[in-house]
A and B are shown apart, each in its own frame.
Chain A
Amino acid sequence: MSEAAHHEEHPTGISRWLFTTNHKDIGTLYLWFAFIMAVIGGLMSLVIRSELWAPGLQMVDPHFFNQMTTVHALIMIFGFVMPAFVGLANWQIPMMIGAPDMALPRMNNWSFWILPFAGSLLLLSFLAPGGGPSAGWTIYPPLSVQGGAGMDFTILAIHMLGISSILGSINIIATILNMRAPGMKLMKMPLFVWSWLITAFLLIAAIPVLAGAVTMLLTDRHFGTHFFDAAGGGDPVMFQHVFWFFGHPEVYILVLPAFGVFSQIIPTFARKPLFGYTSMVFATATIAFLSFIVWAHHMYTVGMPLSGELFFMYATMLIAVPTGVKVFNWISTMWRGAMTFETPMLWAIAGVFTFTLGGLSGLMLSITPADFQYHDTYFVVAHFHYVIVGGSVFALFGAVFYWLPKWTGNMYDETLGKWHFWLTFIGFHVTFFPQHFLGLAGMPRRIPDYALQFAEFNVISSIGAFATIAVQLIFFYLAFKAMRGGEKATDQVWEGAEGLEWTVASPAPYHTFATPPQVR
């Protein structure tokens, strides 16, 4: 007993969080950081949707509107979704593979504590002369060479976020490859762990490429180079190639861990083992590989050679095959299971459903000639919100409700959880479904004002956005309530749950698996 108490010992107050090397504490920090960033990014989306409520300029000037679309995207991608999944990785991977902690705990502390500084730097750009970055999150030159110091703040923030991600990835790979409990062979690992292993390799390969691109941008801005300036022998399109060589793996960095979450939740609530474990692993690896050879489908209209357009179209279409395999596997896992529909399961099903819609619109976008009509319209905006919100964010909600009882020891309020799910799910589709029509009818993205024929669907979309953001207060309340108390969770929490994390107490003790478990 005294030894157990000793194990729980840690500094209190702010120093606990500043100096912690505990994977659970750091996981919590990541999740809170992601939550705060999501609130900020969400409020920015409301500025965008307010301006788009009606044709004409009513709320903000176009320059500020461009800053909002740019920073909303950067915050949601780099500040919210990526850190949130790293938070889940920190909490869950050691517990799922029977390790006492992450392999490199001090580096773990550092990789988190870079983030608040990077996030602040990005937000401080609004105070720079000329305001925040306004060239879109893709920061294409020459436009991004024009902006004020806000762009330099952004470039440095991207560097810091990148360093944090690389450190986090190294840690995740080192943990998974070295610290699995005896008997936990690679092909026995839970799918969430597999997804993160592959994601971490993607991060290590992709982030330095982004770092290179933004560094060249920085030297073009200040040190007289002409990497992206045709007048000096450079090429603006080269930035796009380099950026998307990072950018396409990035979308899988955002969504592969979500696939891992679906693969944990669905078998639990179907009370049936995951269908096609091996093909799931190989499909994930195939997607990761393909993600490196399809980048130029983001830039079909730049005037590539015909052979290039054909190659990138065929390669992009191919991604539908492994992605389809995953969806079929999830549905086969549900098939003839004994399903119940607690909140995590609702999120997982909604995630598969919504992500698949986004995947199918992605298939439409992959068709080069058709993309000449879709490109840079609201159809694209609808598509990537379907995959990133519908895939990644829905998975995050599912994961939080799935593991919250393990983290806090208390069950959340199931009725309210379902309310939150349904309101968010409906709100999301009201917001983004009409954007498909707007794009097809010809509304370009990133405009603060639009022609009259786009008015009706924009109103619907704005109503959906306000409703969706407002109901997140329920989530806030739910999470707090579960942290403070409630019905006690059992160790296994869910009837169908399997895996090492469900063998430890709820709430999970400060240190778990000081002695490694034996996996059969």
Chain B
Amino acid sequence: MSMNEKKSLTGVRFTGIASRLFAALVLITFSGLAFAEYALNFQRPVTAIAQELYGLHMLIFWICVVIFVIVFAFMFYSIFKHRKDKGFKPATFHESTTVEVVWTVIPFLILVGMAVPSTATLLKMEDTRDADLTIKVTGYQWKWQYEYLDHDVNFFSNLSTPREQIENKAEKGENYLLEVDNEVVIPVDKKVKLLVTAADVLHAWWVPQLGVKKDAIPGFINAMWTKVDEPGTYRGQCAELCGKDHGYMPIVVNAVSEDEFNAWVKSKQAEQVAMAAEAGKTFTQAELMERGEKVYAQCVACHGATGAGIPNVFPAITGSPISTGPVDAHIDIVLNGKPGTAMQAFAAQLNDVDIAAVVTYERNALGNSVGDVVQPADVKARRK
């Protein structure tokens, strides 16, 4: 505990004499100043790698500051002293092999000095061997899917900030845009390997405090790893432009003790069993409509809260040929998506009940009134 407190005070654990020196400099420079809400630097690192990255970042930063100060000290001295209006007579020299060699060699040596610790850190970051736990992360427009490959747990994680806050109709919460419905839960002190990919376009999975960022690329799998030191909730965002709602697909990692993690896995598994059991049931229209309205939240980003879409970009639901035409075509497009567009295949994302609910909702709300009811069995029948 006291260890944790100490870390949170200084923010960083440093290794190496040079880094220690620089850390001292950082503390002297910054500790006396109150920056209020102005975040000036990296978020507090909570993994060994993130701490190393912070140390490396500060090392390079201070080298750059020193170079800058020395170089521009010469320039400003010259600007104040070597002026015509002070009667300074211009010199005529215009070359010197000695100084030119010196200022080629010295920067080169500085660069070598920077390359050594950088290489060491990079080697550690890219070593994804011997993981205790593997999670597959898939980016979608605009949400994340997490599959715990060792535990048979699988869920989607959507932005949970209410629309009213985004549209400035309600006061913004503390974690505005950095909150989700389903958090990624990982155990502390375990090496967690993350396999990152995407289902549609490029995304990037980034949690600054963990010091991990990798692009999610459709058709390819990237690997990275993290080992969190202290329990807590750590927030990040998609870092690669992925279309309209790129700014609205946050990541929330909840690092917990191993016991809590195991309990969480059990509850998730039980939840999944309960959901599967529902699929055989027959629902009333009212039940489906109520549930469909909730599921439709996943459709709002493109098709709009009122089903109007965005003309020429995202089609409307209201009065559209699909949501007022044959029901099978409607189920099909939700299940399989429309290739080459942002309309994704929901077959793997939503269960039969949710799809039945959302299709029923789309046909009987948002200005439509087809009147039919879709049951989970109907959806099951259309699955390939």
Contact = CB atoms under 8 A, between A and B. Distances in A.
Interface string B67-78: 110011011001
Interface stretch (B167-175, B269-277, B329-337, B371-379): B167-175
B204 A376 contact: yes
A277 B94 contact: yes
Interface centre among B71, B167, B241, B245 (most CB of A within 10 A): B241
A369 B202 contact: no
B129 interface: no
Interface string B28-48: 000000000111111100000
Interface stretch (B15-23, B207-215, B356-364): B207-215
A357 B220 contact: no
A276 interface: yes
Interface string B100-117: 100110011001001100
A367 interface: yes
Contacts of B248: 62, 449
Contact of B219 (A236, A310, A340, A363): A236
A272 B40 contact: no
Contact of B71 (A235, A301, A331, A361): A331
B115 A62 contact: no
Contact of B218 (A236, A327, A335): A236
A14 interface: no
Contact of A442 (B172, B200, B208): B208
A242 interface: no
Interface in B150-204: 165-168, 172, 174-178, 200-202, 204
B243 A66 contact: yes
B95 A444 contact: no
B118 A451 contact: no
A320 B106 CA distance: 11
Chain B interface secondary structure, helix, strand, loop or mixed?
mixed
A362 B323 CA distance: 52
A419 interface: no
Interface in B117-171: 118-119, 121-123, 125-126, 165-168
Interface in B249-265: none
Contacts of B118: 313, 367-370
Interface residues of B, number: 97
B241 A140 contact: yes
Interface in B87-103: 88-95, 99-100, 103
A4 to B, nearest CB: 37
B313 interface: yes
A457 B38 contact: yes
Interface string A224-245: 0000011100011100000000
A507 interface: no
A145 to B, nearest CB: 7
Nearest to B119: A310
A18 to B, nearest CB: 36
B341 interface: yes
B89 to A, nearest CB: 6
Contact of B40 (A129, A336, A440): A440
Contacts of B241: 66, 135-136, 140, 143, 376, 445-446
Given A313-B118, A325-B100, A56 B310 contact: no
Given A146-B243, A331-B74, A440-B42, A303 B104 contact: no
A219 interface: no
Contacts of A363: 60, 64, 114
A448 interface: yes
A349 interface: yes
A231 B340 contact: no
B295 interface: no
A47 interface: no
A309 interface: yes
Secondary structure of the A side of the interface? helix
Nearest to B301: A62
Given A441-B41, A452-B172, A367 B313 contact: no
Given A236-B218, A449-B247, A273 B92 contact: yes
Contact of B111 (A145, A270, A320, A451): A320
Contact of A339 (B71, B83, B167, B341): B83
B122 A369 contact: yes
Contacts of A429: none
A489 B91 CA distance: 27
A272 B68 contact: no
B119 to A, nearest CB: 6
Contact of B240 (A327, A334, A376, A449): A376
A303 B84 contact: no
Contact of A336 (B72, B78, B172): B78
Contacts of B103: 324-325, 328
B236 interface: yes
A363 B115 CA distance: 11
A230 B240 CA distance: 18
Contacts of B39: 437, 440-442, 453-454
Nearest to A345: B79
Given A368-B122, A456-B38, A301 B204 contact: yes
Given A146-B342, A306-B122, 16 more contacts: A236-B219, A271-B84, A275-B94, A313-B118, A321-B111, A335-B74, A337-B91, A341-B83, A364-B61, A369-B125, A373-B208, A440-B40, A441-B39, A447-B246, A449-B247, A452-B172
The 10 A-B pairs of least Cβ separation, nearest first, read: A230-B219, A447-B247, A441-B39, A303-B222, A129-B312, A336-B91, A360-B64, A338-B90, A338-B84, A273-B94
20 contacts: A61-B244, A62-B246, A63-B244, A66-B246, A145-B340, A146-B340, A310-B122, A313-B115, A321-B107, A321-B108, A328-B99, A334-B79, A341-B83, A353-B72, A369-B125, A373-B213, A437-B40, A442-B208, A451-B176, A455-B37
